[in-house]
Amino acid sequence: ENKNLTSAVIEMLTWEQLEEDLGVIGKSLSEMERKNLFRYIAENSEDYCHMCGECQASCPSRIKTTSILRYLTYYENYEKIGMAKKAYSRLKQAQTAAACQDCGECGKVCPYGISIRKRIREAHSVLSC
């Protein structure tokens, strides 16, 4: 369907999840599943980081924006709260959102229009405690 997508990394925590995931190999989405998928994408794409690294490369403070946004995804979408907080705590203070100088360069270069400053601040507020 999408020629740019060749694989997906799926987390499986139980044998039942593995069996369910293996059971859909080679099957197409139903029309309802397709509609639900595109609705989910539309609802979540505004804040979804594609991990391209443009924001991090443009940051004069050298904040680890890509890592921070990945940890926020763990926290918000995968319920990996402890893991996300632990990963964030491993960053040096100068690499966290606390070091943001509010220059706005990250948001200017984001090809997906994500409000990077807003998202890294949200990450800092939930991951630094």
pLDDT given at position 21: 83
Q: Look up the pTM and report it.
A: 0.75
Note the pLDDT tens digit of each residue in 56-74.
999 999 999 999 999 999 9
Check if the beta carbon of residue 100 is closer than 8 Å to that of residue 121: yes
- Residue 48 buriedness (CB in 10 A; 0-12 / 13-18 / 19+): middle
Confidence of residue 97 (pLDDT cuts 50, 70, 90): very high
Note the pLDDT tens digit of each residue in 18-57.
898 888 888 888 999 989 988 888 787 778 898 999 999 9
